[in-house]
Amino acid sequence: MADDLLSQLKQMTTVVADTGDLEAIRRFSPQDATTNPSLILQAAQQADRRARLAEIARHSTDIDDALDAVAVEIGSEIAGLVPGYVSTEVSARLSFDSDASLARARSLIERYDRHGVGPERILIKVAATWEGIRAARQLEREGIRTNLTLLFSFTQAQACADAGVTLVSPFVGRILDWHKAREPEADFTGDRDPGVRSVKRIYEHYKGHGYRTIVMGASFRNSGEILALAGCDRLTISPALLGELADTQGSLTRRLTPVGAETSAPEPHDEAEFRWALNEDAMATEKLAEGIRKFTDDQRKLEALLGELRKG
């Protein structure tokens, strides 16, 4: 009898849990875990966390202090359950401010250190804007590892690799969403999925040019997208899809295979070239802006929750 698909996937790809749900992490035993403002909000709304959240809120100097304290507390709990990286996101409001992103990232690393979690265990998530990529370049120079998120285009991926970031998170499902909204009758299954094609192009480019940046597909809408990227460096997967893969028997074929560097890396874009190329990509421009807004909306909801708890 064939093994379940999740077990087979783990043999060719590092599986990452895309959640703040500790029980899901215990169940699926991923190598790493990623969080974002939406997932932290979900975790914070769990009834068994209310008393602790209220305590954090009352002892924080302001809402920003409370937000980071909550994110690091949940991230530290996750770090006790996974052997690898835990990704924690800088406020989406800082997506266009390099200096503020740097300060917030350093603060998060210091908070983790006070919880006994070293910087080698943490990936600081920053939106793949020009300013976010600049901040990530500096953080990597300081020994702080980064995960560039809300990545929708090859232009963003190239700039991230040039900056020497540790990991990029191309958003597969949100790319698919954009194309399906415009071509609802089109067949986007399997290798026809534009999000899958985007990750494959980035993966092949990185491996072919010797970049060390890890490619981690993210934001999946269905298990077919995951199976089409079997062999990618990492895939971060929601508990629902992890469960589907764990409950499905079958034979999984590796789809992506690393190759040695074949050619030298191309010249990096300057700021004007980056902004123009991103502007020319309507999907990436729209989804990047939308993603920042959505994360900020969920951050506001968490701020409101902590504000109420702070009042007691």
Q: Which two tokens stand for residue 293?
A: 């807004």
Determine the Cα–Cα distance for residues 147 and 18; give it in Å rounded to an integer.
Answer: 13
125 is catalytic: yes
Q: Which amino acid is at 95?
A: S
Burial of 29 (0-12, 13-18, 19+ CB in 10 A): middle
Identified catalytic residue from 10, 125, 207, 294: 125
Helices (H), 183-238: 194-209, 223-227
Q: Scanning the structure block, which residue is given the tokens 């991103």?
A: 278
Tell me, letter by letter, the H, E, C secondary structure of 109-178. HHHHHHCCCCHHHEEEEEECCHHHHHHHHHHHHCCCCEEEEEECCHHHHHHHHHHCCCEEEEEHHHHHHH
Q: Which two tokens stand for residue 133?
A: 């990529």
HEC string of 64-96? HHHHHHHHHHHHHHHHCCCCCCEEEECCHHHCC
CB 215 within 8 A of CB 206: yes
- Is there a contact between 129 and 157 (Cβ–Cβ < 8 Å)? no
- Residue positions annotated with a catalytic role: 125
